[in-house]
Homo-oligomer: A and B are copies of this chain.
């Protein structure tokens, strides 16, 4: 069993009443980090608690935090969490422990309760969220094997699962500048569209096959130096927290541009993440065994193998995608859930991705973002992009109100959600990654 402490205690309740609602993503057992602002004030570090945001920077300034936690709160007082992440998991864990005590119904001091309404606790609906980190580098992996098979069958039918797939945690460098925070919008990209026949000219115009990809993202805490790989045994300690990630994709642009150097403009017009970083610490109860290999699958090479990672390196996060079109909004029709999946369906663990990424000497920096790749599951309703779900656009999804979707239309809003549930524990969630398509 992974070691747990009082912050995971299912009996713990908060004096913030909405945090005790069974449906909330943000009970006192979660306490994810984010950068928020109120009106024109300076962005600062907060933790989500129920329907509210607790001002951690303010708590630090008032002297309510001590030692490592005070240091962590101070590092997080900038408009981004890079300096806090750089401290690593120890101080972050202590910060979460002390804030948990401050928000605990039984433990909170009179002073905290008295001042809570005087500027330290904010209605979450009134807070603007910012990117949690200044993302110096963004890498996207391809660790969802069901996605690799399904997408591979459509994009490269002659070779659905690449020969290297079960050996190499395949990844590529994404665009850091266009990582956007939810809620937000992306503009439908224009680009070169594939020729309709070999020898014909490509077109140029708005993508006709705009898609989402359901992924999780995770942030680097302490970094490593160039030329100094992170061994697999230490890799997990370099990950400070997780979020939801929508790797918006233009399939027509992608198909034409990606040979031989990989996706470029088909992805770099925007990548959207949820604003709350759920800490590695909060996720401890929801760690599971890494995905089992099929009989006949090779054993990974030594630099990717660690017993503890095999036992606890997987994550049990239920994921879902909701869609609401402009017409549905106009007709007052609620968002419809079009697919569910689970982070268990990753062939490689986040620790394996970090170990692989650094194995040749590449340095990672605090605040770097890594994406898992699209997390599809084995069932037809677990295919986590429209490309897969509609079999390349040939079997459109039917929406309430009578519309069909092969790919995304202008005005469509896509919402990712993530939830961790386990018998004997309070469920925690990731909030939303919510994005609207504009013309």
Contact = CB atoms under 8 A, between A and B. Distances in A.
Interface of A: 136-137, 142, 152, 155-156, 159, 162-164, 167-168, 170-178, 180, 186-187, 189-192, 198, 201-202, 204, 226-227, 229, 250, 253, 256-266, 268-270, 298, 301-303, 356-357, 359-365, 368
A142 B257 CA distance: 12
Is chain A's binding surface mostly helix, strand, loop or mixed? loop
Contact of A303 (B167, B173, B204, B365): B204
A63 B357 CA distance: 48
Given A167-B201, A268-B360, 16 more contacts: A136-B176, A137-B175, A137-B177, A152-B260, A156-B260, A164-B257, A170-B261, A177-B226, A190-B229, A202-B301, A226-B269, A227-B269, A261-B262, A261-B263, A268-B362, A269-B362
B301 A264 contact: no
Contact of A177 (B136, B186, B189, B356): B136
Nearest to A262: B262
Contacts of A270: 226, 361
Given A201-B298, A250-B360, A256 B177 contact: no
Contacts of A189: 360-361
Contacts of A226: 177-178, 180, 187, 269-270
Contacts of A260: 152, 155-156, 162, 170, 258, 262
CB-CB nearest 7 A-B residue pairs: A262-B262, A189-B360, A187-B227, A173-B173, A172-B261, A269-B361, A265-B360
A64 to B, nearest CB: 35
Given A164-B256, A172-B262, A262-B172, A363 B178 contact: yes
A192 B168 contact: yes
Contacts of A253: 360
Given A178-B226, A263-B261, A360 B172 contact: no
Nearest to A364: B177
A255 to B, nearest CB: 10
A208 B142 CA distance: 26
Given A163-B198, A164-B259, A360-B250, A302 B175 contact: no
Interface centre among A142, A164, A298, by most chain B C-beta atoms within 10 angstroms, is A164
Contacts of A175: 137, 173, 362
A305 B268 CA distance: 22
Contacts of A180: 226
Given A163-B198, A192-B167, A177 B363 contact: yes
Given A168-B192, A256-B168, A269-B227, A368 B301 contact: no
A176 to B, nearest CB: 6
B176 A359 contact: no
Given A164-B256, A175-B137, A265 B356 contact: yes
A124 to B, nearest CB: 25
A264 B174 CA distance: 11
Contacts of A136: 136, 176-177
